[in-house]
Structures are given as structure tokens and as C-alpha cells.
Amino acid sequence: MTRVLLVDDDQELSAMLKEYLAQEGFEATPVADGETGVAEALSGRYAIAVLDVMMPRLNGVEALRRIRQESRLPVLMLTARGDDVDRIVGLELGADDYVPKPCSPRELVARLRAILRRTDTTDGAAANGDALVVGPLHLWPARREARWADTPLALTSTEFSLLEVLVSHAGQVVSKATLSEKALGRPLARFDRSVDVHVSSLRHKLAPRDDGRSWIQTVRGQGYQFVRE
């Protein structure tokens, strides 16, 4: 069973989610505070973590910050419905996606599976070890590995998936709806800025072109384009 870390001080909700996740093939371990959550997330025992923003001792945003200092473990944030600030900050710090609370267990499972599919390299599509190369960027989808010139890129699973889609269509405009479907595994919702925030993070991790512009260009009203040399 896929091991999931549930970090939430709402013990009744955690117990309910643990039971539901077990029915869906997940083994969930609940912890009730951020400090314990960080320690468990860094233990190497889990495939993914679900992290609530509002918690005692250490809130979810700071917990995510500490996790990202040492680990690329996929993280799904639970945020208050309509709280765009926590949502955007979480994505900027490296959360792979978010679910607004209250959420249905079915939606949570769907988001978990979407993230885990992006990190799974055991299927046939991942068997090809060829690299995607555009300019200084080398991307190995089979290994989920990226290098900029000779420097490894530390990418979250969502950042890698977005970059893979953009590089696969280098020189072409890719709509935000397509990026959301292919990289986040869900339809683009109205007012959802997740793709924009992840692209912004990618731009900071990629060195600029010789002319000072970003390799990822915004095409107003259409989407994003990874430019060719």
C-alpha cells in the first residue's frame, strides 16, 4: 500500500480520511502538529504528505519550508477555502498542489493519485531513457531528472511535469488549460493561479537567456511557450 503522511490537528477529520484512504489502497499515518509532521516527512517512509496550513506549534507553511530545505517529497496542502494567500505561498514554497477545506475524501484521493502518477517512472512511457534537450536544459523524463548545463535542477514533481510539457512543445504555445490537465492532472478552474505560480518558480530556477529574457515566455491570452534558441 502507498504510504501517506497526514499532518492535521483535526483528529476527527484525520481518522475519517485514514479510513477512506485505506479503502482506496493507501496506508495513512496521522500526526497532529507541524513539528512532528516535518520529522515524519523527512524519515523517508512516505510516498507523499498531506499538510494542513493551520496547525499548532508549527503551521503548515513553515513546516513545508523546512521539508523543502531537505526533501523533494511530494506535498499536497490543505488550505482554507478562498484563502488565496496561503495557497499561493504554499505553491511558491514548493507544494505540488492544494485542496481547499472542507474537501471531499474523493477529491483528496484524486489529487493524491494525480501527483503520484507524475512521480511514477515504472510505466511504459517512462521506459525511454532519452533526454529532452533545448538550449542548456537537459530533461530525462524516465529518471525525473533535469540539469541546466552541468548543474542539477531541484524541482518538485509538479515543476518537473510542467517543464516536461513545455519542453516537449518547445517553440509552441501551450495553454494554461493544457498545462493544468497534463502537469497537474486536473482541469483548470476559474481564478486558479497554480500554473502561473509554478511557472514563476521555474523561471527563477532557470538562468535567463543571453538577451536577459526568460526561456519561458508568456503569450498573453494564450498560455506559455518554452522558446528555442
CB 227 within 8 A of CB 210: no
Residues 101, 134 within the same domain: no
Residue after which a domain boundary falls, among 119, 140, 165: 119
HSE, side-chain direction, 13 A CA sphere, residue 59: 8
Q: Which of 42, 86, 94 is nearest to 65 (CA)?
A: 94
Residue 123 has pLDDT above 50, yes or no: no
For the chain, what is the mean pLDDT? 91
3-state class percentages of the chain: helix first, strand second, coil last, to nearest 5: 40, 20, 35
pTM of this structure = 0.86
pLDDT tens, residue by residue, 178-197: 999 999 999 998 888 999 99
Question: What is residue 129's predicted lDDT score, i.e. its pLDDT?
Answer: 65
Q: Read off the amino acid at residue 90.
A: G
pLDDT at 161 over 60: yes
Average pLDDT over residues 134-153: 92
| Domain encompassing residue 14 | 2-119
Which tens digits make up the pLDDT trace of 193-218?
A: 999 999 999 999 999 999 999 999 99
Instruction: Say which CATH number the domain at 128 has.
Output: 1.10.10.10
Identify the domain boundary among 63, 87, 119: 119
81 and 179 together in one domain: no
**Residue 121: predicted pLDDT:** 55
Q: pLDDT per residue over 54-107, tens digit each? A: 988 899 999 999 999 999 999 999 998 767 888 899 999 999 999 988 888 999
Same domain, 68 and 163: no
